[in-house]
Amino acid sequence: MRLLFSGILIFGVITGFFHSKTAAAASCCGGGFATPALIVGDERGTLSVDVSYADIATEVSSSGFWQNRSSPESIETFRLHGAHIFLDRFQAGVSASFINRSRQNQSSAGLGDVALNVGYETLPEWDYSRWRPRGVSYMTLNLPLGRSIQDATEPFQLDARGRGFWSVALGTALTKVRGPIDIFVTVEARRSFVREVKTKDFTGQLRPGYGALASFGVGFNHQLTRLGGSVSLNYEDPIETRGSISSTGSVTRFVTAALSLSQMLNDEWTLSVSYSDQTLFGAPQNTSLARTLMVTTQHRIGR
Amino acid sequence: MTIQQFRFQMSAFLGAICFVLFLTTSCAKPQYLERTNEAILETSKKEVCFSGGSASSLCISLSWDTMPTETEFGRFIFMLKGQDGVLRDPGNEPDGSAGAPQVELPKVVLWMPSMGHGSSPVAVERISKGLYLARDVFFSMKGDWEIRFQLAGNQVVHAITL
């Protein structure tokens, strides 16, 4: 039963991660940071496929004013991610996305950013403890393979599918199961690196800064079914530009709330449906807000 | 009921209370911005002047011909004037003779300073002396934008909020 719980718990963490990091930034400025693939349970390896549909509902200016979109834009994402244990407590993973953006009868599809991550089980669960969580710390490298909004050339900049920056993130995912209840907390700090740009409109440097993510989720498990919810807070430093155009940028922040329903089909397969909304909580700033529906299928490899 | 069961139920109850408090205090309180085209046109009437360099004596004012929407390009006419208010072309004026230097067209760049990116390229055409048409004007998202006029290494900015 514990193995089953840990398997379903993975979906809570994955859902919280995916919805918090990819949905919002994808709407306006290409892609969000690629989500790391993590093993937080007792598996030896995992392979997952996510299919999501996001609808861009609202835009929030740098001053915090909301404006609804009258011209809808949708983002369909197909994501493949997998992770595998090595040396008992170490793990490595990769996550890649294929993104299709549509607006006003026009669309553009292509590869998004790719994430490579390594993790280490810093808090293993060798014996029972009422309060001590299980923890996995990780480091993620974001490869900017998706075209950034600065390089986008198609109408409505629909070919922007990536963040455009190399970045490194350090984070920790803590999980705890108590009876039918599971809880997870994730914290992450990231740093994006300076990039030289030469386009028709701008020649110079894009200077991003630091970013942070904090997620909290709770799930209720009944036999092979899990109902969970999560809230994620996301922050990014301003992107400063230097060169032919100088601007100081503005911070980006948003809160993503997600609800998920997961069903373990057997020991190896799990199916999950989740919904997230970025218009419900917090004081978003300098971002687009999306509502996303995602279906995830995961295959687990036992130890 | 054992003590452990009681403690667990109390913890779950307190957790639920905290969750409800979180929901009620953390809900988004959106401030919607309703701007009319008239308000946008008003902010565009301001004249801005180049400072320094060969374009230091020139000022720009713009007038919208068609406002861009979320789905359609817009266009505006902008005027280059000297400090005496007379329409001028930057650089040498064409005299129609062969080999006469061409008028340097100002470059128009749409820029979103809060996010550090631009929008679709803007095409500029000369209508007559000091009078230009900027077409294919499109802002990829709502918010605070800058219409940057670049000329002879200098630039001036019209700020606009959509």
Is the pLDDT at A296 greater than 80? The verdict is yes
The mean pLDDT of A221-225, rounded to a whole number, is 89
Inter-chain contacts counted by CB atoms under 8 A, chains A and B: 112
Domain range for A40 is: 2-301
Strand A90-103, strand B154-161: pairing: unpaired
Is the pLDDT at A25 greater than 50? The verdict is no
Cβ atoms within 10 Å of B150's Cβ, excluding its own: 17
Q: pLDDT tier at A22 (50, 70, 90 boundaries)?
A: very low
Q: Do B144 and A63 touch (CB under 8 A)?
A: yes
**Distance from the A264 Cα atom to the nearest Cα atom in chain B, whole angstroms:** 25
pLDDT digits (tens, 9 = 90+) for A49-62: 999 999 997 889 88
Cβ atoms within 10 Å of A174's Cβ, excluding its own: 19
Which residues on chain A are in Cβ contact (under 8 Å) with B120?
A: 155, 157
% of chain B surpassing 90 pLDDT: 17
Residues 6+ apart with CB under 8 A from A45: A39, A82, A83, A84, A85, A300, A301
Dihedrals phi, psi of A105, to nearest 5 degrees: 60, 15
Q: Which residue of B has its CA nearest to A197?
A: B117
Q: DSSP character for A20?
A: H
Of B28, B114, B121, the CB nearest to A282: B28
DSSP reduced 3-state for A187: strand
The mean pLDDT of A14-37, rounded to a whole number, is 52
Is the pLDDT at A264 greater than 70? The verdict is yes
**Looking at residue A19, what is its pLDDT?**
54
Q: Which residue of B has its CA nearest to A230?
A: B19
Q: Do B120 and A155 touch (CB under 8 A)?
A: yes
Strand B31-32, strand A65-86: pairing: parallel
Q: Which fold has domain B37-93+102-161?
A: Immunoglobulin-like (2.60.40)
Cβ atoms within 10 Å of B112's Cβ, excluding its own: 26
- Which residues on neighbouring strands pair with residue B89, listed in sequence order? none
Higher pLDDT, B22 or A12: B22
% of chain B surpassing 70 pLDDT: 69
The mean pLDDT of A259-288, rounded to a whole number, is 93
**Distance from the B70 Cα atom to the nearest Cα atom in chain A, whole angstroms:** 6
% of chain A surpassing 70 pLDDT: 88
The count of domains in chain A is 1
d(CA A232, CA A291): 14
- Which residues on neighbouring strands pair with residue A123, listed in sequence order? A135
Residue A118: give its domain's CATH number: 2.40.160.40
**Distance from the A279 Cα atom to the nearest Cα atom in chain B, whole angstroms:** 7
Q: Which residue of A has its CA nearest to B35?
A: A67
Residues 6+ apart with CB under 8 A from A35: A14, A17, A18, A21, A22, A79, A81, A95, A115
**Looking at residue A29, what is its pLDDT?**
46
**Looking at residue A233, what is its pLDDT?**
93
Question: In terms of Cα–Cα distance, which of A103, A94, A93, A99 is closest to A111?
Answer: A99
Q: Do B30 and A58 touch (CB under 8 A)?
A: yes
**Looking at residue A24, what is its pLDDT?**
36
B26's enclosing H/E stretch is helix B3-26
**Looking at residue B31, what is its pLDDT?**
76
Contact residues, chain B to chain A, C-beta under 8 Å: 8, 12, 15, 19, 22, 26-33, 69-71, 109-111, 113-121, 138, 140-144, 148, 150, 155, 161-162
